[in-house]
Amino acid sequence: MQKILLKSELEEALGVCPNCSHHHRQGAAKHIELTFDPGSFEEADTGLASGDPLGFPEYADKLAMAPLATTPRAVDGCADGPVGPLGM
Protein backbone atom coordinates (compact mmCIF):
# COMPACT_ATOMS: atom_id res chain seq x y z
CA MET A 1 0.00 0.00 0.00
CA GLN A 2 1.35 3.40 -0.96
CA LYS A 3 1.18 6.36 1.40
CA ILE A 4 1.35 10.05 0.66
CA LEU A 5 4.67 11.48 1.78
CA LEU A 6 4.90 15.18 2.48
CA LYS A 7 8.00 17.00 1.30
CA SER A 8 8.57 18.27 4.84
CA GLU A 9 8.56 14.68 6.16
CA LEU A 10 11.05 13.60 3.50
CA GLU A 11 13.36 16.52 4.28
CA GLU A 12 13.17 15.79 8.01
CA ALA A 13 14.18 12.19 7.27
CA LEU A 14 17.17 13.45 5.20
CA GLY A 15 15.77 12.06 1.94
CA VAL A 16 14.96 8.58 3.25
CA CYS A 17 11.32 7.51 2.98
CA PRO A 18 10.04 6.70 6.50
CA ASN A 19 7.55 4.21 5.01
CA CYS A 20 9.77 2.06 2.78
CA SER A 21 13.37 3.25 3.52
CA HIS A 22 13.94 4.27 -0.12
CA HIS A 23 16.85 6.70 -0.39
CA HIS A 24 15.87 9.52 -2.74
CA ARG A 25 18.46 11.20 -4.95
CA GLN A 26 20.10 14.30 -3.58
CA GLY A 27 22.35 16.61 -5.52
CA ALA A 28 25.80 17.81 -4.54
CA ALA A 29 24.42 21.04 -3.04
CA LYS A 30 22.16 19.08 -0.68
CA HIS A 31 25.03 16.81 0.40
CA ILE A 32 27.13 19.90 1.16
CA GLU A 33 24.26 21.42 3.15
CA LEU A 34 23.85 18.23 5.19
CA THR A 35 27.58 17.68 5.78
CA PHE A 36 29.05 21.07 6.64
CA ASP A 37 28.13 23.65 9.23
CA PRO A 38 25.96 26.46 7.77
CA GLY A 39 27.99 29.05 5.86
CA SER A 40 31.33 27.28 6.41
CA PHE A 41 31.76 25.40 3.12
CA GLU A 42 34.67 26.39 0.89
CA GLU A 43 34.99 24.79 -2.53
CA ALA A 44 38.54 23.75 -3.42
CA ASP A 45 40.25 22.63 -6.62
CA THR A 46 37.54 24.10 -8.86
CA GLY A 47 39.73 23.72 -11.94
CA LEU A 48 39.90 19.93 -11.80
CA ALA A 49 38.89 18.24 -15.05
CA SER A 50 39.18 14.84 -16.65
CA GLY A 51 41.86 14.36 -19.25
CA ASP A 52 43.01 11.84 -21.84
CA PRO A 53 46.72 11.36 -21.04
CA LEU A 54 46.88 8.02 -22.89
CA GLY A 55 45.19 9.33 -26.04
CA PHE A 56 42.39 6.77 -26.29
CA PRO A 57 40.48 6.92 -29.58
CA GLU A 58 37.18 8.83 -29.35
CA TYR A 59 37.69 9.53 -25.63
CA ALA A 60 38.10 13.27 -26.21
CA ASP A 61 34.63 13.28 -27.80
CA LYS A 62 33.19 11.45 -24.77
CA LEU A 63 34.80 13.97 -22.41
CA ALA A 64 33.30 16.83 -24.41
CA MET A 65 29.80 15.29 -24.27
CA ALA A 66 29.85 14.31 -20.57
CA PRO A 67 28.95 17.76 -19.15
CA LEU A 68 25.88 17.84 -21.38
CA ALA A 69 24.56 14.63 -19.81
CA THR A 70 24.92 15.64 -16.14
CA THR A 71 23.94 18.48 -13.88
CA PRO A 72 26.64 21.05 -13.15
CA ARG A 73 29.20 19.81 -10.67
CA ALA A 74 27.11 16.69 -10.15
CA VAL A 75 29.94 14.41 -9.15
CA ASP A 76 33.30 16.09 -8.94
CA GLY A 77 34.55 18.58 -6.43
CA CYS A 78 36.52 19.05 -3.26
CA ALA A 79 35.44 20.82 -0.12
CA ASP A 80 36.96 22.25 3.00
CA GLY A 81 35.09 23.28 6.12
CA PRO A 82 34.28 22.43 9.73
CA VAL A 83 31.84 19.76 10.82
CA GLY A 84 31.09 20.53 14.43
CA PRO A 85 34.45 20.54 16.26
CA LEU A 86 36.18 18.73 13.38
CA GLY A 87 37.97 20.26 10.41
CA MET A 88 37.39 18.37 7.19
- Structural domain boundaries of the chain? 10-40
Smallest CA-to-CA distance from 41 within 29, 50, 53 is with: 29
**Whole-model pTM over 0.85:** no
- What integer pLDDT is reported at residue 76 of this predicted model? 61
- Report the distance separating Cα 21 and Cα 46, nearest Å: 34
Judge whether residue 74 has pLDDT over 60.
Answer: no
- What integer pLDDT is reported at residue 6 of this predicted model? 94
Judge whether residue 15 has pLDDT over 80.
Answer: yes
The residues, any chain, with a CB within 8 Å of residue 80's CB and separated by 6 or more, are: 41, 42, 44, 88
For the segment 24-72, what is each residue's pLDDT rounded down to a tens digit?
A: 988 877 888 888 888 887 777 777 777 778 888 888 888 888 766 666 5
Amino acid at 5: L
